[in-house]
């Protein structure tokens, strides 16, 4: 009988995952570090037409794209003359499970069904759980969602508690765990026990599913404005949202559209800390995921992560927790649509960005998410207060992750922080070159690295030497 100890199960990780994902990643690997990313996406995933049809059948996609007239008016009030770009928002809350994650789940679960798996499993505390559960319900598959949910006192963020409820509403089994990366151990054990498909967020299916989002934005903007947007802002955590959207835009022909990543700044909080766990008001879309996943994408639950943001991102900005609560309030109070805070990270970033861009420019915020009990500014801020966080209005600079949530006094105060993308690219290169000297790499490997960070070979060389 197989040993079920932590060490034994973790050492079987690769074989468990191979069976549970059904992809032979080694087929795409070459040289010392390279792998054929585009080849993997083209061979493993589905075509745009196939994905549109799969999603149409499961109530995903073709979501509305709204211009935010009132927010745009207010942005111009706080912008210099001639500045104040127009913001449009893609209302992804209209998807089956209430978020863009339904796009990823639709393709993964369809594939699992086609390959004959009896069920699907995903490790996530985010909207992806409900998305997988909703798709599994429609295709008649079993579904297990493994969530990091509570601290050691069995106290959980209201937002995560709500997401567990939603999974159960779709008939999924939810495994609730205390904080810690050993969640992965439980995840592997259950995969072994059930033989279910690992509907990982990071397979080619999970990423390709988001391509329809970028594709739709390009098509809808052509109809509405006769041109592609100048900027698309995507929340960045694990990388799939930004990667898939950018790929879809490119496939539609919107190749000159600037791709901006946005995360909530949670500097200083440790993601695996029992104490810090309930001292943050955002459980995803934050720098605690965004930075490590950008600089080391293959830290995911599959051997090769299909979400690789540095291939696509033109700018990376952070906003404060307070900025996002302001944006959520602005959406409700001025635009008459109530949406979940975590889906409004990119909106907060776009508001700040719009003030600096010319008034004829168009920014698309590419998501919203559903809202409800727990997943809403008032329960999330009530919870923050109960956990000793000071909640008040004031200057964004007063935000200290884990200590304060400061909501800007007015829209003019939202000023996103621009991160140095080149320093992230350098960190990516350092991680990739941990075991190899750059000069010992073949030209194929060197080309791979250049593609990975969207730079020329010469630019990569000078970045490494810096």
Partner 1 sequence: MSKATNGCWVEIETQVLSSSERAPQIPLDTKKTPLLMWTRGFLVEDEAELDMMVTIETLCERKVQGKLVEINPRYDHDYGETVMALLETGVRIRKDLGGIK
Angle formed at CA 295 by CA 289 and CA 298, multiple of 5 degrees: 80
Q: CB-wise, 33 or 85, nearer to partner 1? A: 85
Please tell me the chain's helix, strand, coil percentages from 3-state DSSP, rounded to the nearest 5: 50, 15, 35
> How many Å apart are CA 455 and CA 432, to the nearest integer?
15
Under the criterion CB under 8 A, does residue 16 sit at the interface with partner 1?
no
Among 56, 270, 299, 430, binds partner 1 (CB under 8 A): 270
Q: Total residues contacting partner 1 (rule CB under 8 A)?
A: 63
Within a 10 A sphere around the Cβ of 392, how many other Cβ atoms?
A: 10
How far apart are the C-alpha atoms of 141 and 119, rounded to whole Å?
Answer: 5
Between residue 361 and residue 400, which ones bind partner 1 under the rule CB under 8 A?
A: 373-374, 376-383, 385, 391-393
Stretch that binds partner 1, among 13-21, 408-416, 448-456, 457-465 (CB under 8 A): 408-416
State the DSSP H helix or E strand holding residue 316, giving kind and residue range, or none if neither. Answer: strand 315-319
Distance CA 224, CA 228 (A): 10
- Answer for which of 45, 74, 307, 419 binds partner 1 (CB under 8 A) is 74
DSSP 216-258: HHHHHHHHHHSS--SEEEEE-SSSHHHHHHHHHHHHHT-TT-E
Question: Taking every pair of C-alpha atoms in the chain, what is the biggest distance, in angstroms?
Answer: 73
| Residue range at the interface with partner 1 (CB under 8 A); choices 36-44, 85-93, 207-215, 406-414 | 406-414
Which of 25, 282, 325, 370 binds partner 1 (CB under 8 A)? It is: 325
Near partner 1 in 142-161, by CB under 8 A: 142-144, 150, 152, 154, 158, 161
Interacting span for partner 1 (CB under 8 A) from 81-89, 105-113, 167-175, 200-208:
167-175
How far apart CA 105 and CA 111 sit, in angstroms, is 10
CA dihedral of 90, 314, 252, 28, whole degrees rounded to 10: -120
Q: Which of 326, 370, 428, 448 binds partner 1 (CB under 8 A)?
A: 326
Scan residues 114-143 and list those touching partner 1 (CB under 8 A). Answer: 119, 142-143
Question: By C-beta, is 85 or 407 nearer to partner 1?
Answer: 407
Q: How far is the CB of 70 from partner 1 (least distance, A)?
A: 6
DSSP labels, 162-175: HHHHHHHHTT-EEE
Q: Does residue 182 belong to the site contacting partner 1 (CB under 8 A)?
A: yes
Among 13, 41, 194, 315, binds partner 1 (CB under 8 A): 194
The yes or no reply on residue 334 touching partner 1 (CB under 8 A) is: yes
Burial of residue 404 (CB within 10 Å: 0-12, 13-18, 19+) is: middle
Q: Which is nearer to partner 1, 382 or 462 (CB)?
A: 382
Q: Which of 16, 41, 139, 177 binds partner 1 (CB under 8 A)?
A: 177
Using rule CB under 8 A, residue 291 touches partner 1:
no
Measure Cα distances from 281 to 96, 224, 292, 344, 347 in Å: 25, 36, 20, 13, 17
Contacts (Cβ under 8 Å, ≥6 apart) of 428: 294, 295, 296, 310, 452, 453
Asked if residue 329 binds partner 1 (CB under 8 A), the reply is: yes
Segment contacting partner 1 by CB under 8 A, of 169-177, 212-220, 296-304, 455-463? 169-177
For position 417 contacting partner 1 by CB under 8 A, the verdict is: no
Told to check if 11 binds partner 1 by CB under 8 A, we report no
Q: Identify how many contiguous H helices and E strands the chain contains and give both numbers.
A: 18, 15
User: Which residues of this protein are in contact with partner 1, per CB under 8 A?
Assistant: 6, 70, 73-74, 77, 119, 142-144, 150, 152, 154, 158, 161-162, 165, 168, 171-182, 185-186, 193-194, 270, 272-275, 325-326, 329-330, 332-334, 373-374, 376-383, 385, 391-393, 407, 409-411
């Amino acid at each position: 009988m197989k040993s079920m100890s932590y060490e034994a199960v973790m050492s079987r990780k690769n074989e468990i995952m191979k069976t549970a994902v059904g992809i032979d990643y080694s087929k795409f690997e070459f040289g010392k570090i390279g792998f054929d990313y585009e080849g993997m996406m083209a061979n493993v995933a589905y075509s745009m037409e196939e994905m549109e049809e799969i999603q149409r059948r499961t109530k995903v996609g073709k979501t509305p794209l709204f211009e935010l007239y009132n927010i745009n008016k207010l942005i111009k009030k706080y912008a210099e003359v001639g500045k104040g770009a127009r913001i449009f928002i893609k209302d992804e809350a209209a998807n089956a499970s209430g978020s863009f994650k339904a796009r990823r789940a639709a393709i993964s679960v369809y594939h699992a069904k086609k390959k004959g798996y009896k069920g699907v499993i995903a490790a996530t505390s985010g909207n992806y759980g409900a998305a997988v559960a909703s798709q599994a319900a429609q295709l008649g598959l079993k579904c297990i969602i493994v969530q990091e949910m509570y601290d050691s006192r069995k106290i959980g963020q209201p937002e995560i508690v709500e997401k567990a409820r939603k999974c159960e509403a779709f008939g999924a089994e939810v495994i609730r765990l205390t904080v810690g990366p050993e969640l992965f151990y439980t995840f592997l054990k259950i995969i072994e026990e059930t033989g279910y498909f690992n509907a990982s967020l990071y397979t080619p299916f999970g990423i390709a599913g988001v391509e329809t989002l970028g594709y739709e934005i390009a098509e809808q903007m052509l109809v509405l404005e006769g041109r592609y947007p100048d900027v698309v802002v995507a929340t960045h955590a694990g990388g799939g949202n930004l990667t898939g959207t950018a790929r879809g835009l490119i496939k539609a022909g919107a190749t000159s559209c600037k791709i901006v990543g946005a995360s909530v700044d949670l500097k200083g909080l440790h993601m695996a800390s029992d104490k810090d766990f309930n001292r943050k008001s955002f459980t995803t879309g934050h720098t605690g995921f965004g930075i490590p996943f950008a600089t080391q994408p293959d830290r995911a639950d599959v051997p090769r992560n299909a979400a690789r943001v540095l291939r696509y991102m033109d700018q990376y900005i952070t906003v404060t927790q307070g900025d996002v609560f302001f944006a959520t309030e602005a959406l409700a109070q001025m635009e008459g649509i109530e949406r979940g805070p975590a889906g409004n990270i990119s909106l907060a970033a776009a508001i700040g960005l719009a003030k600096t861009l010319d008034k004829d420019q168009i920014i698309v915020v590419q998501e919203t998410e559903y809202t409800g009990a727990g997943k809403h500014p008032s329960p999330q801020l009530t919870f923050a207060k109960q956990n000793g966080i000071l909640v008040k209005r004031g200057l964004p600079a007063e935000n200290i992750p884990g200590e304060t949530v400061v909501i800007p006094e007015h829209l003019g105060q939202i000023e996103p922080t621009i991160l140095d993308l080149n320093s992230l690219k350098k960190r990516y290169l350092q991680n990739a070159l941990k075991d190899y000297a750059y000069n010992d790499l073949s030209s194929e490997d060197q080309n791979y690295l250049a593609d990975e960070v969207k730079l020329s070979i010469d630019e990569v060389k000078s970045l490494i030497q810096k």
